[in-house]
Amino acid sequence: MKKILSAFLAVSMLFSLSAQNSPARRAYVDFVVIPSHSDAVYNLGDAAALKVVAQAGGKGLENVKIHFTAGPDRMPADTSGVTTFCNGEALVSFGTMTQPGFRYCKLSFEVEGESYREEMKVAFAPEQIQPTIANPADFDAFWAKTLKQAAKVPMEVEIVPLPEKSSDKVKVSMVKIQCYEKGNYVYGYLQEPNDGLKHPVMLHPPGAGVKRINPTPWFAQEGFITLTIGINGIPMDATDEEIKAKQVELNRGDYAYIGLESKEQYYYRKVYAALVRCIDFLVSLPNFDGVNVGVTGGSQGGALSIVAAALDPRIDFLASFYPALCDLSGYAYGNRAGGWPRMLAPGSKRELSVSVDQMFETLSYYDVLNFARRIKVPGFYSYGYNDNTCPPTSVCAAINQVTAPKVIEITPSSAHWRFNETNVRANAWMRAQCK
């Protein structure tokens, strides 16, 4: 009897411990920040405010202080204050703007020794944001000359099938393409629907960084022959040591500062020219449907998508997500954010190799905003207000210059990332562009 009782107590204790150790299914402190205008868009002169709703263990916070700072997009704060939760809610009023742009609010509060933080930006007349970057009179002539010279360089393509990265639906190959000048190569992955049919082609340029890129088979699964490229001359089978050496070679990854001395020497010249060579390659494929050519990417890839569509009339449509390299001179104009890589941003300690005037003269030939002015094909553009990498002020300034048909998908709460729902809508839009 004692043995039975002991066993019963042991089992009971086991269940009790199991119940006590059951992990919580939600955070103890849960909060949401909601702008007073549901779309986070305000007219000039409107007072912006955020409603903060918070609870701890299901009970609304009471008498808990919220500290906040606020200011123009990516600028030092010009406002600060404290407010208090009452019945689980607090209202944070953080000022207005008299010029088109974006304003941020950073807030924090503490519960039982734990800190909770959030940042949110709202827009003021975003459709009125204008460029700061100059539009050179010889912009088109410079790029026509560049592409004419680059077209003389033989393509010299190497394609190596990669069965280990392929599937029954998608064939993946490693590609090497000579471009811009002899000995300069773009490396990437070619991904093809494995069905023997003809398909649209898609160029997929990368985000920023000197790094290894990976295949992106999902576009091929959607029916696009896709070329996913790197831009920094790194073979797809490069070792970690080779990539580290390339990072050192390319200004420790800050290649956007290489060659600012002149428009002829700037690093991105060969990158932009390579985009056209990649289209040369894609339209030469025997399984290209002969009609539909697209380009898509995010961040630096979003910038390069706009550039490619402006430079190459064979491109029929583009999808660009939070593009970098937009309105780069913004920070030179006081309380105004510029695009990645955020040259002259407050707090930047980078020493320039050229004068500020020379830098922006060079960059005016590469600023994505000036390519956006020249887009003539339909585009899908998407960004979020909370992006601190490619600030929305710079992105919006560029998109505002697009006069071609455009779909603008704004998700105010997103930052330098996007929701899968945005991807789904973008993919459906791109498929719908195909004839």
Q: Which residues are catalytic?
A: 299, 387, 416
Bridge partners of residue 52, in order along the sequence: 33, 90
CA dihedral of 248, 256, 422, 105, whole degrees rounded to 10 = 100
Q: CB of 302 within 8 A of CB of 324? A: yes
**Residues for the chain: how many in total?**
435
The dihedral sign for the CA sequence 189, 193, 197, 199: negative
Question: Which of 427, 374, 429, 380 shows the shortest CA–CA distance to 407?
Answer: 380
Return the number of other C-beta atoms located less than 10 Å from residue 118's C-beta: 17
Give the 3-state secondary structure percentages of the chain, helix then strand then coil, rounded to 5: 30, 30, 45
The dihedral sign for the CA sequence 70, 71, 72, 73: negative
Tokens of 277: 């060579």
Q: Which residues contact 125 (CB under 8 A, 6 or more apart)?
A: 42, 43, 44, 100
Q: Which residues contact 81 (CB under 8 A, 6 or more apart)?
A: 67, 68, 92, 94
The dihedral sign for the CA sequence 256, 258, 261, 265: negative
Q: Which residues contact 84 (CB under 8 A, 6 or more apart)?
A: 63, 64, 65, 66, 90
Q: CB of 100 within 8 A of CB of 128? A: yes
Q: How many angstroms separate the most distant Cα atoms in the chain?
A: 99
Question: Which of 319, 313, 307, 302 shows the shortest CA–CA distance to 405?
Answer: 319
Return the number of other C-beta atoms located less than 10 Å from residue 76's C-beta: 10
Question: Cα–Cα distance between 192 and 167 in angstroms, integer?
Answer: 10
Q: How far is CA 327 from the centre of its chain?
A: 15
Tokens of 422: 């945005």
Question: Cα–Cα distance between 356 and 379 in angstroms, integer?
Answer: 33
Tokens of 266: 């700037």
Bridge partners of residue 409, in order along the sequence: 382
Question: Cα–Cα distance between 379 and 398 in angstroms, integer?
Answer: 13
